[in-house]
Amino acid sequence: MNTLDQLKQFTTVVADTGDFNAMRAYAPRDATTNPSLILKAVQQDAYKPLFSETVAKHRGQSTGSIADQVLVRFGLEILKIVPGRVSTEVDARLSFDSKATIAKAHELIALYQAAGVSRDRVLIKIAATWEGIVAATVLEKEGIHCNLTLLFSPIQAAACAEGNITLISPFVGRIMDWYKKRDGKDFTAEDDPGVQSVRAIYAYYKNHGYKTQVMGASFRNVGEILALAGCDLLTISPDLLNQLQSMNEPVVRKLIPVEKAAIAPLRLDVTEPAFRYAFNADAMATEKLAEGIRAFAVDTEKLEALIAL
């Protein structure tokens, strides 16, 4: 078996792209999207007709509403390819408003359901701010499953687990980027700070019996991916999926669920004051979350600008 097929024995492989034509070759179970990936896709010749058709069909609605229609249209096309779920992201500009995030999630789920798609096949993707985690906790109680993204710290992961969130997406590559810039050095897969972060979160979850799943995301190279073989899920870009499919390197499972340790790590305090203090104390997480929200917001605005043309 090639390396990708071997990886699938230990980990659920997810395609991280808005290019649904590119994912057919890799047979992922699920797919994740974000505003940046959708913006990139709609500017490709292959997707311009789909984009134009969706915009024309809903002309007269607000640009924000049409943008949601575009996101869902891509999600619907993706669900024709993958047997599992698609993650569709809430507007990043709502990242600090729990009520607005809940309302937007309801709107997105309603669009999918109107198209005949069960909510079980959709993950609502929300930035892992305090407000986002609060919103996702409410949505999960309603049976709307969530994927908490832009996750960089143990305290974010702990709060998501306590909220019974379905899935978290710790950003491996962006964590490594921060430390590489700070320290001026390259990292091997084993000492990669992003890899170490996901391993620590995985161990914390398994030790405490949390049901929330861990999906490593934002990879820079195949070394990071293989260092997390065995993680619940890994969402991978088409370029890296292609590399893995072209390789025959043996895959060794690195993350293994174990029985509760004799001395388990203490549960983190995830009350709001404790969360905010712990998160503020983590310079990397604070900077990368803010940067990620800004970038997604900018690309959402660019998508809306294309819609308004």
Rg of the chain over all Cα atoms, to the nearest angstrom: 19
Q: What is the pLDDT of residues 131-182, one digit of tens each?
A: 999 999 999 999 999 999 999 999 999 999 999 999 999 999 999 999 999 9
pLDDT value for 220: 97
Contact 151, 268 (CB under 8 A): no
pLDDT value for 268: 96
Instruction: Tokens 């798609």: give the residue.
Output: 117
The DSSP result for 117-131, as a single string, is --GGGEEEEEE-SHH
Concerning whether 260 is annotated as a catalytic residue, the answer is no
From the list 8, 104, 125, 288, the catalytic residue is 125
The DSSP result for 88-127, as a single string, is EEPPGGGTT-HHHHHHHHHHHHHHHHHTT--GGGEEEEEE
pLDDT value for 258: 75
Neighbours of 64 (CB within 10 A): 16
Closest listed residue to residue 173, CA positions, set 156, 192, 188: 192
Contact 195, 234 (CB under 8 A): no
Q: Which domains does the chain have, with CATH numbers?
A: 3-308 (3.20.20.70)
pLDDT value for 264: 64
Mean pLDDT by 10 residues, the chain (309 residues): 96 94 91 92 93 95 96 96 96 98 98 97 98 98 98 98 98 98 96 97 93 97 98 97 96 85 78 98 98 97 95
